[in-house]
Structure 1
Amino acid sequence: METPEGLRAILADPAGAVIGLDFDGTLSPIVPDPDAARIHPRGPALLARLGERIGAVVIVTGRPAAKAVEYGSLAGVPGLVVLGHYGLERWEAGTLTAPPVHPGLARVRAELPPLISGIEGARFEDKERSVAVHTRQAAQPQAALDALRDPVAKLAAEAGLAVEPGKFVLELRPPGVDKGMALSAFLAERAARSVLFAGDDLGDLAAFAAVRASGLPGVTVFSGSAEITVEADIVVDGPDGVMDLLGSIADAIGS
């Protein structure tokens, strides 16, 4: 397969490159319990190698930024920036910055657990600045998700929140932020000359679109399953494939 233009640009000018990565399903395998997710064993060392070789490594995730750092053992990665909650939070050099918590979250924290109580296997997750409902553990995950879609959307609208769908998950979060906006702002901040973004779920599509809209030599990497149809420059087999790709980039750049 021919090397995509964006990847050639990264290898030719690593100092101008930004490598952006989702966390769950990209750096970490998807697991039934989100709190049990941990980065691929090769991840911390590979990201540290890249952090020393390219302009910037940024993780853009729906998770709280500090959780991604903890679950990824990432505190020691040189120059790493983590944009959590789709860009609402920023972790950099051990410092976390974020706006106040959206007032509508208090209502959904109170009303969402009773709403999902009748769906066996549905799980409520509190992410501090957003909340989520997971149906991965239900006997029929897709049917459970479909049953919850309308009532969850109604509650979110009443609370002034947006719904971010994913693989067997509905996340309620503040409106006006997404991974594409977060990535675009970061590319401008760093005056990037090339960009790669890797992701695995519906929430990553905005970041893929941001790569295409940036006008930069860019490459999109899809690490998800066939359940989601995505146009991407490179398709890899989950976090194992992401690690192989990142390793090949680090090796090609050299010391």
Structure 2
Amino acid sequence: MELTSPEARRRYDAVVAVAKDTVVALDFDGTLSPIVVDPAEAHIHDEAADVLVDLAEVVRAIAVVTGRPARQALALGGLDEVGDRMSGSGRELYLFGQYGNERWSSTNRRVISPRPPHGLSSFLRELPGILRRAGTPEAYVEEKGLAVAVHTRRLADPEAAFERLLPMLRDAASRNDLMIEPGRLVAEVRAPGMHKGIAVHTLVEELGATGFVFGGDDRGDLEAFAAVAELRAAGLATLLVCAEDPGAEGPEELLELADIVVPGPDGVLALLRQLHADAR
């Protein structure tokens, strides 16, 4: 792991000291699962389940906080089984899907979800025309129920296509009272008012945590990073981890805030193994 400063070393040690009251929260794509061309094939890292179950023995709780629909993350991550295995140590697995709009836990196995946002259906009707005007009719559209993600990763020149498409998507989102979350060759359109930072504060308040670790890889994790910084200012032991894609430069905003930078899911799991060993 790459510690970004001497202060980062002290922050890591502080989290280890309060591990039993620490929540470890992780993004899914790019953090627990490698980034792939087809989002439907983004399965959790082969070793992630074992690492998470082991880590649960020494921390307060583990959470997955993702932009994916909760049911999709459950299936791709095998999180039902992971939660079952954690129950042996009396620990709970939490899942916040669609940036916190959906909730699931290994104790309450029901996904709690609100209605789709007003304006999303209108946006979807506009979308085919937007894609044609941007010259990206083959962009992959992922309907998530509460949001829509448009991916250019499959296109011949994905970066140029994304640059043409993003302003048009932003305008359409604004017209329909929606917000847009740009990421790595993907833009997600959803309702305003919920983000990963709220999920972070919810976990701390509900679990009474005195330590918090968050690991993410993209701009959709910025609100979570900001929330962890607020917790740090309030006196909690915290650690921010950026999972940088080995094949691409990570988002500058996350890199500037991170205490530790690791190479993708492999690096995340190596860090979690180290945290488990140091906290035992």
Normalised by the shorter chain, which TM-score bucket?
Answer: over 0.9
Q: State the distance in 2 between where 1:6 and 1:88 align.
A: 30
Question: What secondary structure sits across from 1:111 in the alignment?
Answer: helix
Normalising to structure 2: TM-score of the pair? 0.86
Q: State the distance in 1 between where 2:244 and 2:183 align.
A: 11
Q: Cα offset for 1:121?
A: 4.3
Q: Cα offset for 1:44?
A: 0.8
Match in the other structure for 1:219:
239
Question: Which string of whole-angstrom CA distances, capped at 9 and with x for unpartnered residues, describes residues 179-198 of structure 1?
Answer: 11221222122111011100
Match in the other structure for 2:277:
251
| Structure 2 unpaired stretches of 5+ | 87-91
Question: Which string of whole-angstrom CA distances, capped at 9 and with x for unpartnered residues, describes residues 158-198 of structure 1?
Answer: 21110001010110011011111221222122111011100
Q: State the distance in 2 between where 1:114 and 1:108 align.
A: 11
The one of 137, 155, 159 equivalent to 2:154 is 137
Normalising to structure 1: TM-score of the pair? 0.94
Q: Cα offset for 1:96?
A: 0.9
Q: State the distance in 2 between where 1:253 and 1:97 align.
A: 33
Q: Is the 8 A contact 2:200 2:224 kept in 1?
A: yes
Structure 1 runs of 4+ with >6 Å offset: none
Q: Cα offset for 1:111?
A: 2.0
Q: Is the 8 A contact 1:43 1:243 kept in 2?
A: yes
Question: Structure 2 counterpart of 1:153, which letter?
Answer: R
Match in the other structure for 1:89:
102
Match in the other structure for 2:117:
102
Q: Is the 8 A contact 2:18 2:237 kept in 1?
A: no
The one of 130, 145, 165 equivalent to 1:115 is 130
Q: State the distance in 1 between where 2:10 and 2:61 align.
A: 19
1:1-255 alignment to 2 at 5 Å? Answer: 4-76=9-81, 77=83, 78=86, 79-93=92-106, 94-117=109-132, 118-119=135-136, 121-214=138-231, 215=234, 216-225=236-245, 226-229=249-252, 230-231=255-256, 232-254=258-280
Bigger Cα displacement from structure 2, 149-158 vs 119-128: 119-128
Q: Is the 8 A contact 2:217 2:250 kept in 1?
A: no
Q: State the distance in 2 between where 1:121 and 1:243 align.
A: 35
| Structure 1 unpaired stretches of 5+ | none
Question: What secondary structure sits across from 2:114 in the alignment?
Answer: coil
Question: Structure 1 counterpart of 2:17, which letter?
Answer: A
Q: Cα offset for 1:227?
A: 4.4
Question: What secondary structure sits across from 1:40 in the alignment?
Answer: coil
Q: State the distance in 2 between where 1:101 and 1:52 align.
A: 37
Question: Structure 2 counterpart of 1:137, which letter?
Answer: R
Question: What secondary structure sits across from 1:192 in the alignment?
Answer: coil
Q: Is the 8 A contact 1:18 1:57 kept in 2?
A: yes
Question: What secondary structure sits across from 2:111 in the alignment?
Answer: strand
Match in the other structure for 2:89:
none
Q: Cα offset for 1:5?
A: 3.0
Question: Which string of whole-angstrom CA distances, capped at 9 and with x for unpartnered residues, describes residues 216-235 of structure 1?
Answer: 11110001242421221000
Q: Is the 8 A contact 1:122 1:134 kept in 2?
A: yes
Question: Which string of whole-angstrom CA distances, capped at 9 and with x for unpartnered residues, describes residues 89-148 of structure 1?
Answer: 001122211211112121122221332143154211111110011011122112111111
Q: State the distance in 1 between where 2:239 and 2:10 align.
A: 7
Question: Which string of whole-angstrom CA distances, capped at 9 and with x for unpartnered residues, describes residues 31-61 of structure 1?
Answer: 0010110011110111111223210111111
